[in-house]
Structures are given as structure tokens and as C-alpha cells.
Chains A and B, each alone.
Chain A
């Protein structure tokens, strides 16, 4: 850019005037510096002066001649450039009396390497020193419309831009160009100076800083130029405030929902505050809001999966929820990230449920009808902290401590009737449990990952600390009335139960690449765990609970030490990925019963192989087959050797001889998707075999009351095959989505010491239709499912049952910002126990109107379950038991809701709408 420009102004006065032609012709002949040789292929450009637009370009022919014909009249520059010679520029002022322009001799000059001139400006621009930092206020220096930072820098006194883009300030080299203190984009300074628009810069700062990479003897300080961006784009807030109520118009008890979400950001610092209070099934924020406001840990706390967007999911019973908290995140230094969040959750639930169970034994069947009233109150504090940073370019550390404090109170009243084969009532019981528990849980982890100069070589240390302590105080009041013998039994007991667990996991993983395609991964895992249970039960005698019941009390420890080593080979080449490996595991388990000083030792060795193959010929097509093995350990409740009589009709007993299970898993999948047509297919299968599976062993007494414990059984099988597709028609206005699923499940449980094998086959399938018009979306769907459980001990429990479900959903956007939403579900249950073959029709509707230009104020009238039919009905088949369950849940209610969304720009605040 310091090439000397040769400028000619051409005012040709032409005598020839062609009246009809308003176009210009320009021609010329280009010679080399000797002025003798005509130059071929020289580039000739015409660039309009007023906006630098390239109007035309041509090359000289072998005779050095070029020509622009039929050119519109304009004022433009003619640039003649050649790699070996200096460029030459002519300014041509077009005029209708000057249409033929001929430059017969254009002689190019040799490149002269001038020393860059020192440009001196009148120094009336704001420049000042802040400490040792020299600050230039960018807006004070006028630059052109398309100017980049480099153009700005050229205007700053004292700063010099060299031909190759390198910079000097007061004659000293600038080693680094930063943007807001961070390296912009690699180490090439010109990427920042030549790509950033000058208009986005608020100030340019020059200072010295310590050189991180300096070696002894080298200059320890380097000069950096820091481009400070304007703050306007990096500071602000947005939020949402919403309140809804039915103003006690329909029900005596007012239904309400209120919600506040607020997010404030300043550069990299973010603070979110939230509050939710409701007595409707809405117990959490909508998925899109959790995303928008960054409430990552709320999603997990509610047990909601990423895909379950139904924050209005039917909970069983009548809930009340209060939720509040704060999230904070910031960046520290160049790579450090810090995060903190605290949330408080209070939830109450009143649930009433009825169930009818039929027990099938070889010689007889029982019916049990239960009516359960349950009141629970939970209070929880959740505290999470996280910090991660790169210690250097290869080392990354992260720590994530977590603390949960829980308080729970519950009261459960269970009235049961036991009926014999002839439907005659033989026993009636009334069981009342009240429990209060306090718990502390921590699940914290630390990670150190180290990369090496060799690509893909990696070493990782991970440490996980788990601690929990839970103390429960409970009371059991039970009355049982033996109708046949007219005998009434009472239980009045107090129970103290202390559970604690402490575990330490250490995992070391090392990855070594052997070639571009093949790498080995080694892992060593060490686990040290201790579970303690201290359980005491007291009978009421003489007005106080002093009499310890020994068969219901114990002190029990379960300690385990696990070592696992595994080696995995990973081969990845173009479309193929093969992973194969083997693991060896040893667990040493010691179960100690301090009451009778007995000890059970288990030392178990497992080989855990895995093998998988994935084929991914393109981004939209993949198939794979995966074989894995796993083993999990029984819980302390399954192990502890005393009876649990919290429900005296269904007593549970631990089994200290229980072994870890062992599962073989085989999965396969095939998926394709075509972006342009929108057609997709997903399909696959799962199969598993479980040995030493945890199964229930149940003994029945002559009323049908049970004592059960967990035992190991072999040969449980599960398999299913699934398929689904989406096929759009009529330019995607209509889409058909069929799906099907077939599954088979074979499992064993033990009934009165005899093995009972249940085989359950179920088939389900459905069709969905979607209609997408500009302002109207309609979805119609149905699913049908058929289940056929067959049990080996009794053929009576082999009753197939079906469920049919029809769905309709509509969203219609009318003019004047009115939206109508409607969804309807119709469920047909058949072949179930009497009274449970109910058909349920649920219709929800919403009408909303948005106000203001920004549509940020929204008034909504929503009606939930307009037909007042909502029921929670389910059937479970478990071994020889078929249970139909019915829970009363909130049915019809209406809410009038006002939502206000806001942000600092006073613009339309968009909802989070997915990936773009």
C-alpha cells in the first residue's frame, strides 16, 4: 500500500459526437518500463469512484491492447496492475461529450521500494495515558464506510502499520493483538486488524505485558495492542413475569400459577433469578425457559429429561410447589469458568389412589383392594459449584462440589381388604405410617485431563466422592381384623432408621494413539464404599416406646472394595468405527451384622467384554451394532437381614447373600434422514440376558398377605424391535409418521418357593398425521397396544389387555395476535379388572392475545380438562400379580394468565425456538 500511485486525470475533449450512443468505449495499450515491449495479460480494472464498485475488468491481449466497450457513463478509476510493475491509476470523468477514450501508451514503472512515509497528523484527537496504558478513543478518528481496524490504526499517531500488516507503536514492535484482552483468532495479528470493522471499536489500547512464553535471557515484556469493543452489544437483561389464577370462580380452592425469570448479563458474567409458585400440575419451568435462562440443574432436579417438554405432566395427586433460586456464572482469566447455583424447593402432594390386585397362585387366587391416602411434604436445598480452567494449553482441571439438604415428612394411610377365591372378605387392615426424615447428600467430583504434544494421547484422573446420611423417625399404627376368626391385632411401633453411605471412586484413563486410525484406551477404577444401616424398632409399652423389638432391629454394614481394569481398542477409519475391549473386575464385599456378630464375605470376579461396530457412510445415515456387559450391586435395603414391617401386609426381608447381577446387552440401530425431502426412518432392536438378576421371592399366607425378599435368578430375557418413519407429502404440508414396536419379556420370580416364569408379549403401533399450513398446525395421531402376559404358575393371570389412544392437537394463529391452541386425547382401556375399563377423554384449550407492537404482553385464557374426565389409570403385570391402579389427579380447572416478557432493548423478546 506504500507503492507510489501514478495518477492521471483524463479530460479528453472529443470532436466526434455520436448522438444516439450514450455508452463509453475505453481502450489503451500497455507497455513495460522500457516502453518498447507490449505486455500481455495485464489486468485492467475500472472501479467507480463514488462507491468503489468494480464495474469491469479485462486483460491486455498479446499486443498489449485492452478495450472496454459499451460502458455506462460514470466517473471511475482505471487501474492497471501487473505483478512485476507498479500499478497505474487513471481517473476518468465520464461525460456525454467524451465517449471515446483512447490511452495509446501506458508505460508501467518498475516497483520502487519506498521507505514508508511517516504520516504526521495534527494532534487534536483524544489520546491519553491511563497508568502505563496508552489509550486512543476510536470514535475521534474518522474512517471510511468500509474501514477495518487497520484503516483506523493507520490514522492513530504513533502507530505504524507495515506492508505485511505488522504493527509498531512509537517504533517498538507490537507482538500481540488482543480483542477485549483475549487473543482474537490465532496469533496472526492481521486477522483481527483486517477483519474487524473499525466502527465496532471503542478504544485502542497499547501496553506492555509479561511474556508467558519467554525463556531465560529473552525480553520478558512484550508490547500488546488491545482492541476494546463497544460495550453496547455485551450488556443487558431479559426476563419474564407471569401470573395466573381462576379467582375462585369455579372451585372453592383457587388455582394459581406464578412465575418469575430474570437474567442479567454483563460481558461474560451472567446472573439468573427464578421463582415459581403453583398449586396446579405445573411443577417446573417450561423446557424452553430453562434453556433460555440457563437453569441447567433445575432440569435434573426435577427428573425431567431433555425431551420431556411437558412441564404440565400429570403428577399423581394434588400438588403444591414453591421453587426459587439463583444462578451465577462468570469467566475468570482466559480460560477459567466459575459457576454457582442455589435453589430451594418446597413441594406438597396429597394423593389418593385405589388399586385392585389379583394374585394368582397354583391352587388359588386372592384379590386385594387397597385404598391409599398419602400426604407428603418435601423441602430441599440444592447447592452446586463448579470451576474449570486450563492450567496450560495441555492441562485442564475441573472441580464440581455439590450439596443437597433434604427434609421430608409423610403420612400414609392404607386401608386394605383381602378377598378369597369366592370373593369373600377374610381380612381387613388399616395401616398408618408417619415418617420424618432429614438427609444430607453430596456428590462431588474433580477431574484433571492432560494432553500431550502427540495428538490424541491423553491422560485423565477423575475422583468422585459420594456421601449421604439420612435419618428417619417413623411411627406405625396398624389394625388388622381377621373376619373369620373375629380376631383383631394391633401394632403400635416407633422406628428410627439411620442410613449412611460413603464412597470414593478413583478412575485413571490413558489413551495412546498407535496410528492415525487406531488407539488404545486403558482404564483403572478403584472404588471404596461403605454403607451403614442402624435400624431400631420399639413397641409401645406403658405409654412410651421403650421396648426394643429385636427381630425388627439391627446394625448392619456393607463394605466393598472394587478394582477394575479394562483395555479398549478403538479403530476409526472413514465410515467405520470398531470398538473392542475387555475388562476384569474384582469386588470384595463384606456384610457384617453387628447384632449377631455374623459376617458374610463375597469375593467376585467378573470378565466384562464389549464389542461394537458403527457404520456411518454420511452424516444422515448410520447403523451400528453394540454388545456390552455390565454388573450392578444390590442396595443395602435388599441386603440388610431383618424384616421391614412398615406395611405389615407386605413385609420385606433383606438377603445378605445376594450377589451382584450380570447383564449381557445387544443393541442395534439404523437411522436415515434426508434434509431436503424431510423423510426419515429410525429403527433398531434391543436384547438382554440377565443372570443373577434381582427378583422378588414372595410367600403368601392364607389371607394373601406377603413376605418378600430379593433373590438372584438366572436367565431373564428381554427383547424388542422398533421402527418409525416420517414421510412428508404435498410440499411438506402433510406428513405421515407410522411407528411400531414389538417386545418380549421373560422373567422369573419366586412364589411360595416355586419358580414362576412370566412371558409378556406386547405389540404396539400407530400413525400420526401432521398438517402444517402457514398459520395453522394440526396433528392427529393414534396408537394401539396389546399385551399378553403368560405366567407359568397360573394360567389365570394370562389375560391379554389393550389400550387405544387417539390424539388431536391444533395451533391456529389468527390475525391481530390471537392464538388458539387445542388438544384432545381419547383413551380406551379394555379387558381390565371391573371398574378399571374406563374410557377417558381429555380436552385442553388455550386462547391468547398478544399486546403491543412487540407482542411482549400476553393475556391467555386456558381451560384444562374441559370435560372433567382426567384419571390416572394404569395396569401393571408383575409375576403372578395383576394390578390396576387408579389415582385421582387434578381434573378441570381454568386459568386467566397474564405474561409479560421484557429486555433492555425494549424489543420483541423471542421464545427459545430450537437450534437456530
Chain B
């Protein structure tokens, strides 16, 4: 699969090079389809939750798409075909809309079916660059590491061939587009399955806020800390919320 796409892209690259040598294969816009694989066995430590998880359903696969150009990007879930299954509540699907020049990000967190709107500046993360490389969907990617806290590290593979600094789950700040993202234990993995070099339509990359209440990240953190911090279960319930933030 990867090889095929790679070969195709290579041919397209060669073709473009032949037609007009001025074009490089650098791209500033496109649509990337991501596959997210969540290992529920690793994700949940609670015994009761584990009881619901078995060999056949422990890996949840979901699809997302990242539409981007040089000024904005939107990352959202692709609605599942057919039936919704019993385990769908075990993972959450968030939406991110980034305006790169304004350096702002609108995040819609889907928390147990409710949407929470967060408008804040683009997340700034400190990345460590490694010499590790791999090919994802035909692109040479370099691995970078983000140390979220003492116990959590997140790996990202980015390509410099796609210029905008965007990625899945609102991850950005690397010199290129992130095509792979994974938690260190392999519990959650995003990989680009397909990269289309198209120009997204204007209407596709607009995210209306509507009349919903909009928080900043600090406001939301404060609200949850204040209102749920003293309950035994409250904090845990929202841990998932800040998994990627």
C-alpha cells in the first residue's frame, strides 16, 4: 500500500519535474487521511473496563482527515460507515481548527457526547529532534519526541516536503507536516494512510462556533479543577480530555 502510493507519488514527482522544472515537490496544501489505532487494553487500567475488552475488540480503528493550506488546517473525524458499535464511547474524537497566521486554535472536545469549545493560541511544544527516519505514505519522515510530562512521551514523524506546520490532534510546531503520531507505549497511534495534494475548498475549512460557550484552555482547566477537583472520580473523568493538549 505504502509502496504503491510512494511509487505513484514518485512518478507524479518525476512527471512534474519533466513538465516544469520550476515546480519542486514541496506542497503547501492537501488532504491527509489518518487512521487511528487505539489499544483499549493499554488505554484502560480499570478492571471493570478491562472486562469489556477482549481479543477481538481491543484494537479500535478510526479514521480522521486533515485538510490544510498555508494559512489554516482542520482535523476532524470521518464519520463511521454503517453501524456504531458498543465500544465507540471508549475513545473520543476531537476536532481542531488552526489559523496559522493568527496563531490561533479552536478545539472542539467531544466529551461523552457533549461538545466543548476552546479558543486559544496555537499550542507550543518543545520538540526533541532525532535522527530516526521512516517513510509514511511515501514521504520521508523524521521522528521528533515531545516530553509531555515525566511519564508521558509522544512521538511524531513529520515530513519537510509538506510545508505547513500542522498535524493530527492539533499537533504542530515541527518544520513540516506530521504524518505519524504515537504515544510511547503504542496505546494510541495515528498514521497517514493517504496524502492527496489538493487545494481544500474554502467552505471545507471553516468551522463555525455558533452560539456555543467558548472557553480558553486555562478557563476550562480552572473550571474542571474547581468543580471536579474535589470529587474522587471527577479528575479522572477529564484526564482523557487533556491527553493531547
Q: How far is the CB of A502 from chain B (nearest CB, A)?
A: 32
Chain B residues lying within 8 Å of A572, measured Cβ to Cβ, are 82-84
B48 contacts A517, C-beta separation under 8 Å: no
A731 contacts B182, C-beta separation under 8 Å: no
Using known A-B contacts A572-B82, A916-B236, determine if residue A54 contacts B112 with beta carbons closer than 8 Å: no
Using known A-B contacts A45-B175, A53-B127, A146-B128, determine if residue A675 contacts B47 with beta carbons closer than 8 Å: no
Task: Say whether A121 faces chain B, with CB atoms less than 8 Å apart.
Answer: no
Interface footprint category on A = 35 or more
Using known A-B contacts A54-B128, A516-B81, determine if residue A916 contacts B114 with beta carbons closer than 8 Å: no
B213-245 vs A: 1/0 string, CB under 8 Å? 000000000011011101111001101000000
Task: Say whether A766 faces chain B, with CB atoms less than 8 Å apart.
Answer: no
B128 contacts A57, C-beta separation under 8 Å: no
Task: Say whether A673 faces chain B, with CB atoms less than 8 Å apart.
Answer: yes
Q: Which residue of the partner chain A has the closest CB to B144? A: A54
Chain A residues lying within 8 Å of B81, measured Cβ to Cβ, are 516
B6-30 vs A: 1/0 string, CB under 8 Å? 0000000000000000001110000
Chain B residues lying within 8 Å of A16, measured Cβ to Cβ, are none
**What separation, in Å, do the CA atoms of A292 and B46 have in the docked complex?**
10
Interface footprint category on B = 35 or more
A186 contacts B84, C-beta separation under 8 Å: no
A693-737 vs B: 1/0 string, CB under 8 Å? 000000000000000000000000000000000001001110000
Task: Say whether A40 faces chain B, with CB atoms less than 8 Å apart.
Answer: yes
Chain B residues lying within 8 Å of A51, measured Cβ to Cβ, are 128
Of B182, B186, B189, B231, the contact of A772 (CB 8 Å cutoff)? B231
B24 contacts A40, C-beta separation under 8 Å: yes
Task: Say whether B140 faces chain A, with CB atoms less than 8 Å apart.
Answer: yes
Task: Say whether A810 faces chain B, with CB atoms less than 8 Å apart.
Answer: no
Task: Say whether A914 faces chain B, with CB atoms less than 8 Å apart.
Answer: yes
A191 contacts B126, C-beta separation under 8 Å: no
**What separation, in Å, do the CA atoms of A616 and B88 have in the docked complex?**
12
**What separation, in Å, do the CA atoms of A675 and B234 have in the docked complex?**
10
Among residues 25 to 72 in chain A, which have CB atoms less than 8 Å away from a CB atom of chain B?
39-41, 43-45, 47, 51-54, 57-59
Q: Known contacts A678-B228, A912-B47; can you find 4 more A-B pairs with CB under 8 A?
A: A43-B160, A83-B159, A291-B48, A774-B230
Task: Say whether A81 faces chain B, with CB atoms less than 8 Å apart.
Answer: yes
**What separation, in Å, do the CA atoms of A291 and B50 have in the docked complex?**
12
Task: Say whether A837 faces chain B, with CB atoms less than 8 Å apart.
Answer: no
B155 contacts A54, C-beta separation under 8 Å: no
Q: How far is the CB of B98 from chain A (nearest CB, A)?
A: 17
Task: Say whether A164 faces chain B, with CB atoms less than 8 Å apart.
Answer: yes
A915 contacts B130, C-beta separation under 8 Å: no
A617-655 vs B: 1/0 string, CB under 8 Å? 011110000000000000000000000000000000000
**What separation, in Å, do the CA atoms of A676 and B237 have in the docked complex?**
10
**What separation, in Å, do the CA atoms of A146 and B89 have in the docked complex?**
33
**What separation, in Å, do the CA atoms of A619 and B84 have in the docked complex?**
11
**What separation, in Å, do the CA atoms of A92 and B184 have in the docked complex?**
31
Chain A residues lying within 8 Å of B45, measured Cβ to Cβ, are 916
Q: How far is the CB of B26 from chain A (nearest CB, A)?
A: 5
B27-62 vs A: 1/0 string, CB under 8 Å? 000000000010100000111110000011001000
A-B pairs with beta carbons under 8 Å apart, 14 shown: A40-B24, A43-B176, A51-B128, A54-B128, A54-B175, A57-B174, A58-B175, A83-B26, A148-B132, A291-B48, A572-B83, A673-B113, A731-B223, A914-B46
**What separation, in Å, do the CA atoms of A474 and B21 have in the docked complex?**
103
Among residues 56 to 82 in chain B, which have CB atoms less than 8 Å away from a CB atom of chain A?
56, 59, 79, 81-82
Task: Say whether A79 faces chain B, with CB atoms less than 8 Å apart.
Answer: yes
Q: How far is the CB of A235 from chain B (nearest CB, A)?
A: 17
Task: Say whether A663 faces chain B, with CB atoms less than 8 Å apart.
Answer: no
Task: Say whether B148 faces chain A, with CB atoms less than 8 Å apart.
Answer: no
Task: Say whether B103 faces chain A, with CB atoms less than 8 Å apart.
Answer: no
B233 contacts A915, C-beta separation under 8 Å: yes
Task: Say whether B129 faces chain A, with CB atoms less than 8 Å apart.
Answer: yes
Chain B residues lying within 8 Å of A53, measured Cβ to Cβ, are 126-129
Report the number of A-B residue pairs with Cβ-Cβ less than 8 Å. 163
B236 contacts A915, C-beta separation under 8 Å: yes
Task: Say whether B133 faces chain A, with CB atoms less than 8 Å apart.
Answer: yes
Most buried by A among B49, B84, B143: B84
Q: How far is the CB of B138 from chain A (nearest CB, A)?
A: 10
Task: Say whether B122 faces chain A, with CB atoms less than 8 Å apart.
Answer: no
Q: How far is the CB of A379 from chain B (nearest CB, A)?
A: 31
Q: Which residue of the partner chain B has the closest CB to A619? A: B113
Of A621, A731, A914, the contact of B233 (CB 8 Å cutoff)? A914
Of B79, B135, B186, B239, the contact of A185 (CB 8 Å cutoff)? B186
**What separation, in Å, do the CA atoms of A57 and B116 have in the docked complex?**
33
B55 contacts A390, C-beta separation under 8 Å: yes
Using known A-B contacts A41-B24, A915-B48, determine if residue A620 contacts B112 with beta carbons closer than 8 Å: yes
Query: 7 closest A-B pairs (Cβ-Cβ)?
Result: A916-B236, A619-B113, A620-B113, A57-B175, A618-B113, A516-B82, A43-B160
A164 contacts B134, C-beta separation under 8 Å: yes
**What separation, in Å, do the CA atoms of A83 and B84 have in the docked complex?**
41
A335 contacts B114, C-beta separation under 8 Å: no
Task: Say whether B205 faces chain A, with CB atoms less than 8 Å apart.
Answer: no
- Please choose the segment from A194-202, A352-360, A520-528, A537-545 that sits at the chain B interface, where 4 or more of its residues have CB less than 8 A away: A194-202
B227 contacts A731, C-beta separation under 8 Å: yes
B134 contacts A732, C-beta separation under 8 Å: no
Chain A residues lying within 8 Å of B159, measured Cβ to Cβ, are 83
Chain B residues lying within 8 Å of A676, measured Cβ to Cβ, are 111, 114, 116, 223-224
The prevalent SS among residues of B at the interface is mixed
B176 contacts A621, C-beta separation under 8 Å: no
B231 contacts A915, C-beta separation under 8 Å: no
B186 contacts A184, C-beta separation under 8 Å: yes
Task: Say whether A84 faces chain B, with CB atoms less than 8 Å apart.
Answer: yes
Chain A residues lying within 8 Å of B160, measured Cβ to Cβ, are 43, 81-83
Using known A-B contacts A195-B184, A915-B236, determine if residue A146 contacts B145 with beta carbons closer than 8 Å: yes
A176-199 vs B: 1/0 string, CB under 8 Å? 000000001110001110111100
Using known A-B contacts A83-B161, A773-B230, A774-B230, determine if residue A621 contacts B84 with beta carbons closer than 8 Å: no
A150 contacts B132, C-beta separation under 8 Å: yes
Of B46, B116, B133, the contact of A915 (CB 8 Å cutoff)? B46
Of B88, B130, B134, B228, the contact of A146 (CB 8 Å cutoff)? B130
Chain B residues lying within 8 Å of A165, measured Cβ to Cβ, are 134
Chain A residues lying within 8 Å of B196, measured Cβ to Cβ, are none
B82 contacts A164, C-beta separation under 8 Å: no
Task: Say whether A913 faces chain B, with CB atoms less than 8 Å apart.
Answer: yes
A373-406 vs B: 1/0 string, CB under 8 Å? 0000000000000000010000010000000000
Chain A residues lying within 8 Å of B55, measured Cβ to Cβ, are 335, 390
**What separation, in Å, do the CA atoms of A110 and B40 have in the docked complex?**
44
B230 contacts A914, C-beta separation under 8 Å: no
Chain B residues lying within 8 Å of A120, measured Cβ to Cβ, are none
Using known A-B contacts A516-B81, A732-B228, determine if residue A675 contacts B237 with beta carbons closer than 8 Å: yes
**What separation, in Å, do the CA atoms of A194 and B232 have in the docked complex?**
36
B86-127 vs A: 1/0 string, CB under 8 Å? 001100000000000000000000111110100000000011
Task: Say whether A574 faces chain B, with CB atoms less than 8 Å apart.
Answer: yes
Q: Which residue of the partner chain A has the closest CB to B183? A: A195
Task: Say whether A294 faces chain B, with CB atoms less than 8 Å apart.
Answer: yes
Task: Say whether A311 faces chain B, with CB atoms less than 8 Å apart.
Answer: no
Q: Which residue of the partner chain A has the closest CB to B239? A: A916
A153-175 vs B: 1/0 string, CB under 8 Å? 00000000001110000000000
Q: How far is the CB of B173 from chain A (nearest CB, A)?
A: 8
Task: Say whether B131 faces chain A, with CB atoms less than 8 Å apart.
Answer: yes
Q: Which residue of the partner chain A has the closest CB to B224? A: A676
**What separation, in Å, do the CA atoms of A43 and B159 have in the docked complex?**
10
**What separation, in Å, do the CA atoms of A59 and B165 have in the docked complex?**
11
Chain B residues lying within 8 Å of A191, measured Cβ to Cβ, are 186, 189
Task: Say whether A1 faces chain B, with CB atoms less than 8 Å apart.
Answer: yes
Q: Which residue of the partner chain B has the closest CB to A191? A: B186
**What separation, in Å, do the CA atoms of A390 and B174 have in the docked complex?**
44
B129 contacts A621, C-beta separation under 8 Å: no
Task: Say whether A907 faces chain B, with CB atoms less than 8 Å apart.
Answer: no
Chain B residues lying within 8 Å of A59, measured Cβ to Cβ, are 163, 175
Q: Which residue of the partner chain A has the closest CB to B47? A: A291
